Amino acid sequence: MAADRYRTAPGASATPYTRDQGIGWSEYRLDKRFERVQANAELAALFECEPGERLLARYFVFHDNDEPTQMSTSYVRWSDVAGTPVADPINEPWPGGTRAQLGSLGIHVNRITESFTAAMPTEAEAATLRVGSGVPVLRYTRRHIADTGRIVEVAHPIVRRADTTVVDFVIDLDD
């Protein structure tokens, strides 16, 4: 997982996931389910909004050549996506990923934050990712932040098996 994976050109037949996996569009499969929910206290804190705000929850399982390697729940604000192609799961996977989706709505994302933890998988995570209960997972929270400073997407959690994932950061420093 390279730090520059979100620089995929909007509209390209790639996503940050396909870049992470080093796979082409034809090798990528996405299981998805969408539902409207209300922000609980934890999501409200992550979005910096009021509890009860309406959100669209998007549940995904990502497959690399039919092997499940990542699962996530991504939330977007219902007020941003209601009545748009972004709210329709038939349009997934979306070339360019979440950043391109938001861009299609006129929302310019200029910052993404991620926070990682590692732990043993829950029973559901182990079953979905087809890993034994002794294989740890990485769980992380991602936030897409618009140039206005408004948080427009929260993926919480994103789960990957830890034994096959390398997180690679490059930090450029000015001297």
pLDDT of 6 reads 59
The rounded percent of the chain whose pLDDT value lies above 90 is 67
In tens, the pLDDT along 72-83 reads: 999 999 999 999
pLDDT over 90 (residue 1): no
Name every residue whose Cβ is closer than 8 Å to that of residue 111 and which is 6 or more positions away in sequence: 144, 145
In a 3-state reduction of DSSP, which class is residue 23? coil
- Average pLDDT score over residue span 119-148: 94
In tens, the pLDDT along 154-163 reads: 999 999 999 9
Mean residue pLDDT of the chain comes to 89
> What is the edge-to-edge ordering of all strands in the sheet holding 137-146?
28-38, 54-64, 67-77, 151-161, 137-146, 109-119
Q: What is the pLDDT confidence band of residue 8, given thresholds at 50, 70 and 90?
A: low
pLDDT of 2 reads 54
Name every residue whose Cβ is closer than 8 Å to that of residue 127 and which is 6 or more positions away in sequence: none
Model pTM?
0.88
pLDDT over 60 (residue 110): yes
In tens, the pLDDT along 30-41 reads: 999 999 999 999
- Average pLDDT score over residue span 24-49: 94
- Average pLDDT score over residue span 55-59: 98
pLDDT of 15 reads 79
pLDDT of 169 reads 77
Phi, psi of 162 (to 5 degrees): -80, -25
In a 3-state reduction of DSSP, which class is residue 165? coil
- Average pLDDT score over residue span 117-141: 94
